[in-house]
Structure 1
Amino acid sequence: MKIVHVPLGGKGPPLPASQKPYTVNGRTYYPLPSAAGYVEEGLASWYGPGFHGRRTASGEIYNMYAFTAAHRLLPLGTYVLVTNLENGRRVVVRINDRGPFVPGRIIDLSYAAARALGMVEKGVARVRVVALAEGRPGPRGIVFTRLPSLRRGEFYLQVGSFKNYANAVRLRERLSRRFRSVLIEPFEAPEGTFYRVRVFLAYDLSEARRRAAALRREFPRAFLVAR
């Protein structure tokens, strides 16, 4: 997969490598300036032998037996906790590459990480990704930045995603009879624009998880997201 970095105009100081925009398959991605507050749920995949020994986006050589991962937007060097929501297994990995560029997937794990999560044979699994710390090279090794607590924020349950806007409106109207805040948020994907329908749950993560668990009985494909 060829990654092309995109130059930005202006006279400001140059962006660090972890924040440089890049283009893959004609689409440009703009990495986050910080991992603070990042938590997301979605599908994880893994990559292994075909990439073992190749150079990653961070400049490191990919080692499929190390606990690393690829992410489209998190700063390179970020450590994240990945929880397999299908079996409860957890692993901490460091982001040192870019990807995955397959629609619907949020993180691409090394073989070692995928094996620890028990998802090698299946290939994909629904996971929760939580940023733990940002790492950067220092004179005596990696220097870590303590990130703010992720316990507070705006937490939503994504109930559906539609290419047809009218379908999203119908679901929002139905949900609005029961919930105070229901949003439609557009999302640009390679296949076109999708309209995500999200129900506000809580400002506290624990409370949001409790409410999400109750609603998943009605919406089994729904998942928790943070803004």
Structure 2
Amino acid sequence: MRQLLKYSAVFIAIGLIAAGCSSSKKKDPFAGIGSPYYSKAGPLPKGGGRYHVGKPYEVAGVWFTPKEQPGYDKVGIASWYGPQFHRRMTSNGEWFDMNELTAAHATLPLPSYAKVTNLQNGRSVVVRVNDRGPFVDTRIIDMSRRSAELLAFKPQGMAKVRVQYIGPAPLNDQGQHLAAMNRELRNGTPLNRMMAAAEGWSTGETEVAAVDQGFESYPTVQTNIASASTAYETPDYFVQVGSFADPYNAERAREELANSGPVEVQELMGSQGPLYRVRIGPMKNQGQAQLALRQAVDLGHPDARLIMANAAL
């Protein structure tokens, strides 16, 4: 029932008609237009949208004024949206992937980065805001399904959150920059320095990092594959997909990645209890490992990383 009440700015034509909105001149340029569906086979393209702020618009009698908001920092209710809008176009022309770390906001510039913190459990994530919404009750942000899972409120449907604007997101990021932003978040980098710090990660050469996806702090080991491989005649490569507190989620990830290579789930002890680490490998061929990495990212694991056998233990 919750999902039936949800609106997305690029797919609210039915809601707008039912609400009896006034003339189209008052709407956001994307509002009231049936959202195109990406029907091609294979993973959804990343990026490809446009920078968009937009003029003031009205939805169900409420006016919204998009604008640059460098100091935006608000507390409110977050909800999430997923299957109904999966593979449909967002308000800035990108394709909505419910397995990516994205969100919809009524007034922030598109695309942009925002830090969202679940005030009920302290978990935080950086999301790419590339859509308009939500337009229901007191909700201030609509998270993708994956984002809601990371903030651990998906089963409840909503949560009280704090939303902090970080800055404009790269237009055609293929996932590396967003993953770097979340790495900086885990490292405790201040918001005003996060963008610059992430640039160093996302534009450098391919790195090997023993970094688990999650909210605990792990030591990071960095080395260049070309130089590291000289220590081994036949190095083994792994794709470190992530660590999960829920074994069911780990098993689901293993099943999703079954076509990418051998996948294993290891139980580890974290600071707050057991964690279940998912990784693909071992693989002798670096090209095969890079392909498995791209497949893992495309399947909704933006923090997946290529690691060497000695760093995978």
Q: Shorter-chain TM-score category?
A: 0.5 to 0.7
Instruction: State the match for 1:19 in structure 2.
Output: 54
Q: What is the alpha-carbon distance in structure 1 between the residues aligned to residue 176 and residue 99 of structure 2?
A: 20
**Aligned pair 1:119/2:153, yes or no?**
yes
Are 2:105 and 2:132, in contact at CA under 8 Å, matched by a contact in 1?
yes
Please, what TM-score do these two structures have when normalized by structure 2?
0.40
Instruction: State the match for 1:76 in structure 2.
Output: 110
Aligned Cα RMSD in Å? 3.3
Equivalent residue letter for 2:164: V
Q: What is the alpha-carbon distance in structure 2 between the residues aligned to residue 61 and residue 148 of structure 1?
A: 28
Are 1:43 and 1:127, in contact at CA under 8 Å, matched by a contact in 2?
yes
Alignment of 1:1-227 (within 5 A): 1-2=12-13, 6=26, 17-32=52-67, 34-135=68-169, 137=171
Q: What is the alpha-carbon distance in structure 1 between the residues aligned to residue 109 and residue 57 of structure 2?
A: 13
Are 2:101 and 2:146, in contact at CA under 8 Å, matched by a contact in 1?
yes
Structure 2 SS opposite 1:100? coil
Structure 2 segments unaligned to the other structure (5+ residues): 1-11, 17-23, 29-50, 178-190, 194-313
Question: How far off its partner does 1:22 sit?
Answer: 2.9
Equivalent residue letter for 2:53: S
Q: Which has the higher helix share?
A: 2
Q: What is the alpha-carbon distance in structure 2 between the residues aligned to residue 28 and residue 42 of structure 1?
A: 18
Q: What is the alpha-carbon distance in structure 2 between the residues aligned to residue 56 and residue 28 of structure 1?
A: 20
Task: Indicate the larger mover: 73-82 or 107-116.
Answer: 73-82
The count of corresponding residues between Structure 1 and Structure 2 is 140
Question: How far off its partner does 1:46 sit?
Answer: 0.2
Are 1:51 and 1:62, in contact at CA under 8 Å, matched by a contact in 2?
yes
Are 1:82 and 1:128, in contact at CA under 8 Å, matched by a contact in 2?
yes
Structure 1 SS opposite 2:53? helix
Q: What is the alpha-carbon distance in structure 2 between the residues aligned to residue 20 and residue 134 of structure 1?
A: 18
Equivalent residue letter for 1:25: A
Q: Which runs of 4+ in 1 moved over 2 A?
A: 2-8, 19-28, 135-138
Structure 2 SS opposite 1:17? coil
Structure 1 segments unaligned to the other structure (5+ residues): 9-15, 150-227
Q: Which has the higher strand share?
A: 1
Structure 1 SS opposite 2:171? strand
Equivalent residue letter for 1:135: A
Question: How far off its partner does 1:103 sit?
Answer: 1.1
Are 1:68 and 1:95, in contact at CA under 8 Å, matched by a contact in 2?
yes
Q: What is the alpha-carbon distance in structure 2 between the residues aligned to residue 136 and residue 19 of structure 1?
A: 18
Q: Which has the higher contact order (CA 8 A, sep 6+)?
A: 1
